[in-house]
Structure 1
Amino acid sequence: MLRRLGRSGIEVSALGFGCWAIGGPTWRGETPVGWGEVDDNESIRAIQRAMDLGINFFDTADAYGAGHSERILGQALAGRREPAVIATKFGNGYNESTRQLGGSFASPDYIRQACEASLRRLITDHIDLYQFHLGGFPAEEAGPVVQTLEELVQAGKIRAYGWSTDDPARARVFAQGPHCTAVQLQENVLDDNPEMVALCNELDLAGVNRGPLAMGLLTGKYTGSTSLGGDDVRGTRAPDWMKYFKNGKPNPEFSAKLDAIRAILTSGGRTLAQGALAWLWARSPM
């Protein structure tokens, strides 16, 4: 199943492959912002298997694993770049050797340097969708960011761009740019985002959904007896913004919501994840 990536006309698989977890352990001070240890070879096999099954959209960020996620994705897509649609992000500072994140950056020079670094790690000459990763950046200061992204389009470094934000006002500012084609938003059956969905429909923007399965809660894999590790962003030292998990376990608030609709999502022989994804695809063509 293919969908149009907003105004760009690029065709992408309705189901994408999120590459945050494959970055491995990452930290902001003492707080984990990665998903713990992963096997790089397993990550590469998973990406290649996804391609074999018809998935062509891969979403990563330079901050995922402090560059490591982009490197793994680039290795996995070696020799298969043309059918793939690569989305990555910029704006968060990081130290590749320590896996520490720190600082937020949005100057034109920084954006150009970040783009070149991502191109090298991804082993490609262009990025299909380049996304601003600072969701809370002031909308009134976003003009130079859009201008720089337009210059990168003209230079052939990127094909289109978007903003990872759940604020309609910020998305509207970016959407004024001719090559803005997407907004990355949080949306799932437990956590609807009607304003952003409506905005995507109104402005012909693709809604790149960063939380379709509520960070794993909608897989059914995690229960009250779950205990996620201290190096997992969902674990016992989770950042304050983490809402689907608390203290390394599913958040009781969202677990109760899931229990209330579990029978509906799994009706007709569907798995929980299949039901959750079906709801999203029926929610909007964007």
Structure 2
Amino acid sequence: MSSIKKNELGKQGLVVPAIGLGCMGMTQIAGYDIYGKADETEAIATIHRSLDLGGNFLDTADLYGPLKNERLIAKAIKGNRDKYIIASKFGYEIDDNEQLTWKINGSRNYVKKAVERSLKNLGTDHIDLYYLHRLDPNTAIEETVEAMAQLIKEGKVGYIGLSEVSSATIKRAHHIHPITAVQTEYSLFERSVEESGILNTLNKLGIGFVAYSPLGRGFLSGDINSPDDFADTDFRKAIPRFQGDAFYKNIELVNEIKKLAAEKGITSSQLAIAWIIAKGFLPIPGTKRVKYVEQNIAASHIALSNEELNRLEAIVPLGTSTGARYDEANMQAIDQ
């Protein structure tokens, strides 16, 4: 196993590698492909290769599939559970027929139901980091966090986290039980957590920050050239950032980022990941291919000078509009 630098995530004792592996794209979500078609054999090989290289932090959720993603991870980690750090999320309600209702449910009873199902699907007796995927507007965050804290007492969960929540919600939650991590979309193309002061809140409270979609849902890879590059079943077709004028403006930004990456002899993806690590955050780029997990983990060894960081941020200054990151319905699920 190669050595990736390890860091404490938050102040509760969870130590993780400098980069994680987002597993969402390894299965569909409700019939939609996530970043192209997935192949189970290649996905499992990717998880194994990540471990070989020291990347043992896997991020999943019961939403993905639904439930199939956790089951795929169970196959990949079988016999080696103790070598992995598993993070999963709950909150998007899944009924007893394994169908998404698309409601958010953070009630005490649903927390218990969701964790038992995830433990079974993951083939494990504990989840290292368990997140609320989205805030339930009909349940007080205090109730949800109390139920999550109970899971820690029962040994079913090691640490708890939240995803896509406001500073006010974070403070209320942390008052009930220490929150280890908050996960939010963050990349050169998406820095609203900086603008809204959420990162300042996390810093003050000693909560770690996990950046999902650090490659701007693939935009920052530099491999996307046209809106027609996506199949009809690709969920990105519905995201405003990939539509109309925003798409072509973003391509111009990516081309500038590619130039800077080429100067350094790395890919634009590696530059985007190294930038997040340099800022002190944990990126969890998603991939389902061995080639890309090798590239992504190599990015954790790339050092960026202050001059390089400044040049990169000058290409996409804070406040640059790159288009909305979700369609209207999904934006409403974000606690702002």
When normalised by structure 2's length, the TM-score is 0.75
How do 1:129-168 residues align onto structure 2 when only pairs under 5 Å count? 129-135=129-135, 137-138=136-137, 141-168=140-167
Call closer, same or farther: CA 1:101–1:269 in 2, change over 3 Å.
farther
SS across alignment from 1:87: strand
Q: Which structure dedicates a bigger proportion of its chain to helix?
A: 2
The aligned counterpart of 1:200 is: 202
Q: In the TM superposition, what is the alpha-carbon distance from 1:186 to its structure 2 partner?
A: 1.5
**Structure 1 residue 132: deviation in Å?**
0.5
Counterpart of 2:279 (choices 263, 280, 283) is: 283
The within-5 A match list for 1:170-249 is: 170-192=169-191, 193-194=193-194, 195-224=197-226, 226-235=228-237, 238=238, 242-246=239-243
CA contact (8 A) 1:25 1:231 kept: no
Give the secondary-structure state (helix, strand or coil) at the position aligned to 2:187: coil
Task: Determine if contact 1:185/1:196 at 8 Å carries over to the other structure.
Answer: no
Partner of 2:289: none
More strand by share: 1
Equivalent position of 1:258 in the other structure:
254
Counterpart for residue 272 of structure 1: 268
Q: What CA RMSD, in Å, does the superposition of the two structures yield over aligned residues?
A: 2.4
One-letter identity of the residue aligned with 2:171: R
- After TM superposition, give the deviation of residue 100 of structure 1 in Å: 4.6
Q: Which structure 2 residue ranges, 5 or more long, are not aligned?
A: 283-336
Q: Does 1:103 align with 2:103?
A: yes
Go from structure 1 to structure 2 and tell me whether the alpha carbon gap of 1:262 and 1:198 turns closer, same or farther (over 3 Å shift). farther
Per the alignment, in what secondary structure is the counterpart of residue 180 of structure 1? Answer: coil
C-alpha spacing 1:116/1:98, structure 2 compared with 1 (3 Å): closer
Offset at 1:280? Answer: 0.7
- TM-superposed CA distance for 1:104, in Å, is 1.9
How many Å separate the matches in 1 of 2:117 and 2:44? 21
- CA–CA distance in structure 2, aligned partners of residues 205 and 187 of structure 1: 16
Q: Percent identity?
A: 30
Q: 2:24 aligns with which of 16, 20, 23?
A: 20
The structure, 1 or 2, with the larger RCO (C-alpha pairs under 8 Å, 6+ apart) is: 2
**Structure 1 residues 256 and 174 mapped into 2: Cα distance closer, same or farther (>3 Å)?**
farther
Cα deviation, residue 7, structure 1: 2.0
SS in structure 1 at match of 2:16? strand
Amino acid in structure 2 at the alignment position of 1:13:
P
Alpha-carbon shift at residue 196 of structure 1 (Å)? 2.6
Q: Deviations over 1:244-283 (max 9, x none)?
A: 3238x98234223323433224431111111111111112
**2:142 alignment partner AA:** G
Which residue identity lines up with residue 9 of structure 2 in the other structure?
L
* 1:113 Cα deviation after fit: 0.6
Q: Give the distance between the partners of 2:104 and 2:276, measured in 1 at CA.
A: 31
Structure 1 equivalent of residue 320 of structure 2: none
Q: Tell me, in whole angstroms, the C-alpha distance in 1 between the residues paired with 2:150 and 2:209.
A: 23
**1:60 aligned partner:** 60
Letter in 2 for 1:67: L
Given the alignment of the two structures, is residue 3 of structure 1 paired with residue 7 of structure 2, yes or no?
A: yes
CA distance, structure 2, for counterparts of residue 79 and residue 245 of structure 1: 41
In structure 2, distance between residues paired with 1:138 and 1:100: 17
Structure 1 CA distance for aligned equivalents of residues 94 and 82 of structure 2: 29
Question: d(CA) in 1 for partners of 2:87 and 2:212?
Answer: 12
Cα deviation, residue 198, structure 1? 2.2
C-alpha displacement of 1:173: 2.0
Query: Residues 20 and 59 of structure 2 are in contact (CA less than 8 Å); yes or no, is this contact kept in structure 1?
Result: yes
Instruction: After TM superposition, give the deviation of residue 179 of structure 1 in Å.
Output: 3.6
* AA partner of residue 5 (structure 1): L
- Contact 1:60–1:89 (CA<8 Å) still a contact in 2? yes
Structure 1, residues 110-153: CA drift from partner, whole Å, max 9, x if none? 11010000000000000111101114x34981110011011111
Q: Give the distance between the partners of 2:264 and 2:12, measured in 1 at CA.
A: 36
- Provide Cα deviations, 1:5-40, integer angstroms capped at 9, x if missing partner: 21221211111110111122425xxxx484453111
Shift of 1:164: 0.4
Q: Calculate the TM-score normalised by the size of structure 1.
A: 0.87
What amino acid sits opposite 2:42 in the alignment?
E
Contact kept in structure 2, 1:266 and 1:275, CA below 8 Å: no
Q: Is the 8 A contact 1:222 1:250 kept in 2?
A: no
Cα gap change, 1:10/1:63 in structure 2, threshold over 3 Å: closer, same or farther?
Answer: same
Q: How far apart in 2 are the matches of 1:125 and 1:171? A: 27
